Structure 1
Amino acid sequence: MVDVGKRGPAPKPTSLRILHGDRNDRINDTEPVPPTQDIACPDWASDAAQSIWDRLAPGLIERGVLTAWDVDAFLVVCEALARYKSATQLVNGSALLVQGGSGLMKNPALQVQAEAERTFLQFAARFGLTPSDRQGIKTEVADGATGGAERLLS
């Protein structure tokens, strides 16, 4: 059997089900909850990934999107973006076609760039790092922060 992945819209988070007064049989009261603890970039991250982490993680942590359980997956996002940046710099500094063993061939940095882009986009979607993915994530808004309709109507 081939696993085709989940279909349909992402399920509503349990906290929203409770807020909206969903029926008790539709609320997962045994949903695992990540522990509240300091979230830090793993020490084995590359310098480039650490820089990306430092830029993106604070906002995700503040919104509750990045938790202690998500550190490794988010590091994949940061490493993929770092590889993409490095490959893009290589491509921009050289030709699209390079001399290979049997003549001209596509620059190998293009393949690295494309793989890093696919990895980034696949994992970035889980954290709402693209506009279309972000609209599907619901988070608590901190006091004083405006979001959604309040922001649009002000």
Structure 2
Amino acid sequence: MGKRGPAGKPTSLRILHGDRKDRINDAEPLPPEVEIVPPEWLSEKGQAIWDRLAPSMITRRVLTAWDVDAFGVLCEALARYAVATALVNGSALLVPGGGGLVPNPALKVQADSERTFLTFAARFGLTPSDRQAIKAEVSADGGTSGDAGRLLS
């Protein structure tokens, strides 16, 4: 059985929101500030998605060295979704199989990829409903500023 209740709020957000001190983990580990490179296992389409999304997330310190693999899974899920959607759009929803017509197998790949993407997208604040819960000051150069920027890493 998984954890119960709502997902925990990151310490950086607890500080920004002014949570009580006894609810703030002052010993939370912080990822090192190193160059963030995509995983080698990304497909060509996954790499293209990484190249499109990662730079602004790195600038805002949402994507850190510890998040590389999780973000890679997000990129691959979106790449699979795009491929499955192209297959579905280029063929029928029902295809011959099993003695009659069956749902196109690409529909399952599409649905599974969408579910994976949305799960990981929420963790990175890439959906409007998840992003509304994140408060970060953004400087003129697009990065986070002050202590909030350091804490949101």
Whether these two folds match at TM > 0.5 is: yes
Letter in 1 for 2:39: P
Paired position in structure 1 for 2:110: 113
Gaps of 5+ in 2: 145-153
SS in 1 for 2:112: helix
Aligned length: 144
Paired position in structure 2 for 1:151: none
Higher relative contact order (CA 8 A, sep 6+): 2
8 Å Cα contact 1:18/1:27 also seen in 2: no
Paired position in structure 2 for 1:104: 101
The CA RMSD measured in Å over matched residues stands at 2.5
**Residue 41 of structure 2, aligned match among 21, 34, 44:** 44
Paired position in structure 1 for 2:150: none
After TM superposition, the structure 1 = structure 2 runs for residues 26-65 of structure 1, keeping only pairs within 5 Å, are 26-65=23-62
Letter in 1 for 2:109: V
SS in 2 for 1:75: helix
Query: 1:56-98 CA distances to partner (integer Å, 9 max, x unpaired)?
Result: 0011111111000000000000000000000000000000000
- In 2, the alpha carbon distance for the partners of 1:91 and 1:21 equals 47
What percentage of residue pairs aligned between the two structures are identical?
59
The structure that has the greater radius of gyration is 1
Gaps of 5+ in 1: 148-154
- In 2, the alpha carbon distance for the partners of 1:73 and 1:117 equals 15
- In 2, the alpha carbon distance for the partners of 1:77 and 1:9 equals 19
- Answer yes or no: is 1:17 the counterpart of 2:20: no
Offset, 1:134:
0.7
